[in-house]
C-alpha cells in the first residue's frame, strides 16, 4: 500500500522505516500538505501528516476525491484538522495519543530551570568570554508553588517531577486524574487559585474552544509579578502579545515557550536568511527572561520510536480492516 507522508523531517525517516514491518511504499514528502502538494497523494489510501499540516475542509474534500480514506497524524493534538469536515466526508482520522509523556514533562522542567537559573543570559555572556556572575542570581524550585494546568498523562509525570524537586504542587483540570487525587502533596484547586498563588505555571492542556486564550490579560494581571509561565501545550492557550506586554512591564518574570500561536510556516524551518520575520517572535527571542524552543518537546529517541510505531500500527489496523484503536472524531 502506498502511503504519502507529509512534512516528513529527515530525523523521522529512520524511525518510519524501522517500524514499516509490512513493507508499505512510503512516499516521503518534505513539504506541508497544501493545495499545491496534495496531488502527490494520488494513488494513496492513507496519508500521514504532522501538526504543521493545516488540514481544512477544502483539503479534506480533495483528499476524499482522490481516494484517501485514512489520515494518520503524527501528533497527539488534532487542532490542525477540521474533524467535522472529516466526519462529513466519512474519512477516518487517527492520532498518536501518547508517545512519551516523559519527553514533554522533562522539557517543561528544562524550560523552568533555564529561566530560574538564568541560563540564557549566562550562555550569551560566556560566549563573549565574560565570566562575571553579576545579575545572574537565580532561584530554586525547592519550596516553590507550582501550578499544573492539565493533568493527563503529561501533567501526571510533570507533577511527580516537580514534587521530586520539593515543590508544592497545585492542579487544575476539569477532569481530575484519579492517580493524583490521593496525593497529600498535590491538590486540585480553582484556576483563580493557580493564578494567585503559583510561582511557576505550566500549561499542559489541549487546545479547544474552552481553553483558547486560557492565559490572557486578565489572567496575567492575577498572577504574581515574580511568576514564570511555561507553555508546551498549544500556542493558542495564551495570548502571546499580552504575555509579551506583561514581560515588558515586569508583570511576569519569565516565559518558557515551546509552542507559538503563529508558528505555522515558521517552526520546523530554517528561516535564518529570511527577510520577513515575525516581529513579536523576534521581540520575545531577544528577551533574556524568555526561552523559546521550536515545538520540540517530542524530539527524543524514545518519543520518535513510539510515535512512528503507533502511526504504523494504525495503518496496519486499517489495511487489515481491523478496529482502529486511535480513531478521533468531532463527536
3-state SS string over 20-35? CCCCCEEEECCCCCCC
Q: Which of 19, 219, 242, 263 is catalytic?
A: 263
Strands 2-5 and 25-28: parallel
3-state secondary structure of 115: helix
Task: Say if CB 82 and CB 53 are below 8 A apart.
Answer: no
DSSP output for 152-198: SHHHHHHHHHHHHTT-EEEEE-SS--TTTTT-TTEEE--HHHHHHH-
Task: Say if CB 49 and CB 6 are below 8 A apart.
Answer: yes
Q: Kindly calculate the radius of gyration of the chain based on its CA atoms and give it in whole angstroms.
A: 21
Look up 295 and say whether it is catalytic.
yes
286 contact partners, CB below 8 Å, separation of at least 6: none
Residue count (the chain): 331
Look up 9 and say whether it is catalytic.
no
Q: Which of 19, 234, 242, 261 is catalytic?
A: 234
CB neighbours of residue 176 within 10 Å:
12
Element (H, E) at 255: strand 254-257
Provide the annotated active-site residues: 234, 263, 295
Amino acid at each position: 500500500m502506498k502511503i504519502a507522508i507529509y512534512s516528513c523531517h529527515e530525523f523521522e525517516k529512520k524511525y518510519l522505516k524501522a517500524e514499516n514491518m509490512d513493507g508499505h511504499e512510503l512516499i516521503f514528502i518534505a513539504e506541508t500538505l497544501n493545495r499545491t502538494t496534495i496531488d502527490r497523494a494520488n494513488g494513496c489510501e492513507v496519508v500521514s501528516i504532522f501538526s504543521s499540516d493545516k488540514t481544512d475542509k477544502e483539503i479534506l474534500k480533495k483528499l476524499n476525491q482522490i481516494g484517501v480514506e485514512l489520515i494518520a497524524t503524527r501528533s497527539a493534538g488534532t487542532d490542525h484538522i477540521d474533524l467535522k469536515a472529516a466526519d462529513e466526508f466519512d474519512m477516518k482520522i487517527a492520532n498518536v495519543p501518547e508517545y512519551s509523556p516523559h519527553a514533554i514533562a522533562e522539557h517543561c522542567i528544562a524550560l523552568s530551570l533555564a529561566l530560574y537559573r538564568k541560563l540564557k543570559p549566562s550562555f550569551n555572556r560566556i560566549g563573549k568570554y565574560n565570566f562575571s556572575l553579576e545579575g545572574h542570581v537565580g532561584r530554586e524550585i525547592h519550596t516553590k508553588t507550582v501550578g499544573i494546568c492539565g493533568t493527563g498523562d503529561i501533567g501526571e509525570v510533570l507533577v511527580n517531577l516537580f514534587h521530586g524537586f520539593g515543590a508544592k504542587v497545585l492542579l487544575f483540570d476539569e477532569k481530575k486524574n484519579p492517580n493524583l487525587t490521593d496525593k497529600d502533596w498535590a491538590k486540585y484547586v480553582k484556576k483563580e487559585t493557580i493564578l494567585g498563588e503559583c510561582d511557576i505555571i505550566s500549561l499542559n492542556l489541549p487546545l479547544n474552544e474552552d481553553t483558547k486564550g486560557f492565559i490572557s490579560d486578565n489572567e496575567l494581571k492575577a498572577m504574581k509579578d515574580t511568576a514564570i509561565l511555561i507553555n508546551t501545550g498549544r500556542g493558542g492557550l495564551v495570548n502571546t502579545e499580552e504575555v509579551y506586554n506583561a514581560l515588558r512591564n515586569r508583570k511576569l518574570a519569565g516565559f518558557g515557550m515551546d509552542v507559538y500561536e503563529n508558528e505555522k510556516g515558521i517552526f520546523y524551518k530554517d528561516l535564518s536568511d529570511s527577510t520577513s520575520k515575525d516581529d513579536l517572535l523576534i521581540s520575545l527571542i531577544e528577551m533574556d527572561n524568555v526561552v523559546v524552543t521550536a515545538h520540540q518537546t517530542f524530539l527524543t529517541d524514545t518519543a520518535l520510536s513510539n510515535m512512528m510505531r503507533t502511526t504504523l500500527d494504525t495503518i496496519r489496523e486499517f489495511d487489515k480492516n481491523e478496529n482502529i484503536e486511535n480513531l478521533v472524531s468531532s463527536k
